[in-house]
Structure 1
């Protein structure tokens, strides 16, 4: 009897060890539009309900959304294309524009990261999700809608821009609008800030490899950046600002890029959440590029087809860096630090 019992114990121990080994070696890959999402310090995993959970910030931003966190409520909020999506830790409910849905698993905190069910969050953001159970791969594709902007006057576009929620700052939790900024700085200064955001977008993303002068182009771009700082493009490579500017300028010629852009905004589309945010509608067309795969990786604006018109709403973030007057090159009063996609890229009819 003892031999039988001991044998059963050994079998059970081996079974547990095998299960543990399989679990430890099971890696989940997530792709968005064919590109693998990089999770640098928190990896997706399959939970006890056999659902794939992913770090909320990385997947939301890969789809073009923005995430804020309320520690008191233990609630994560995703802002995406006019949608407000909320999840509470250890709850199965997901709220999409005040409509409550029940998931078959829950959001959790793990290693100080918020993990959410990838299918529910992705579909709430309007994406398609497919699961390869053999290779443990999640395939996410965006539903690229079309919009009709041909009949919209600029006044109507500006009014539409004001309807999107402002982006909260993870640290300040404070948002002030255009009127508050006018009272603080005066109307002319606010207009100056808006022009910085607009001019940056229309300088950086208006290029034609056949006619542009690299030296002049680089000098124009330097004005928007702090010399002794850095920039991380969508390829997730961190470069010093001067290196970043010259790299992009070289690629314009090497990749034969021709891109035409307008950034529609005005002084009523400015707000602050700690830094200055300039909201605008970016309308653009990429007429030429001999390496669209590179362009798609370097900037999300490149995830399109040649020759078609596209649009999206973007917040250009400007910051005040004290002491930048000591830099080698002359800069604007407020300098560009980031671009935030408020809506996904959509084709224009």
Structure 2
């Protein structure tokens, strides 16, 4: 009864907050990627989102740091950003700003969301002299300043910087090594082979196939991201078991959709007050073939916000043949090799989807760990 009362009070509080601050929208389900000067930005908590004015909002401090600018908070609530000879000044919840001494009117204002100052990305970046480009296929914003552009950087097809120094010992197994991905992600080992007699095709070999192009790989990335958006966005207050189970269909190998198991899990969510949040960031350049299927290494970050059950809180652990207990309020982060397969013949490349019963904790075991100090 006490737990039910707490839930009702929490729901009422959330409703009152939403009604009183309707100008602050919720974050997009699948986070927007941001690449600054060839380096993908890892947002620790507050994620970029598109606001009601169709403007991409990002955490101010981390973007300023990535561009190498300086940030100052004035006593009157004024925010001032300086980058070389350029400057941008604005205030929270105000449409008035000053760019390089010239007063302008914005079409959306800086706001605070869960203690983080969120600002319109294009306005801040261009005000500091950087170029901004939207990559719709990768759902990513690319920001480059003049100094970086003139350095003739070695970028991959997604605009990310390729590393040529401090390389991992197994560099030859990969198509290339990214500057913003740690060596530990490259050397952590592969998913266990079902058929050891069948040789693994490393990414360096797989990428020699012309079908390993951006068009196909972007489709695979979208399916993984949307698949795990469904996995990590469950909420006992809103989930509808049959609708939720069928929502996976566009992102999976359709012949392997296990609707019964997913309906059972959704009912488990309802009955045990389970609520999650998290996201997946696939690395298309880290794709290899094994056991006749493709594996795309993917960084995941998630946490259990609320649950009455001690086990089965994640679809992954609900389906597994062993018990994994996840702590409530603790962020988990790590890499998993997500299996992609298809039953389509002829031209199968655009049709690969997430494989039935894929498990984060199998791929490989031990990569996904608790983040120290990240708790509710």
TM-score by length of 1: 0.45
Larger RCO of the pair (alpha carbons < 8 Å, separation 6+):
1
TM-score after normalising by structure 2: 0.42
Larger Rg computed on CA atoms: 1
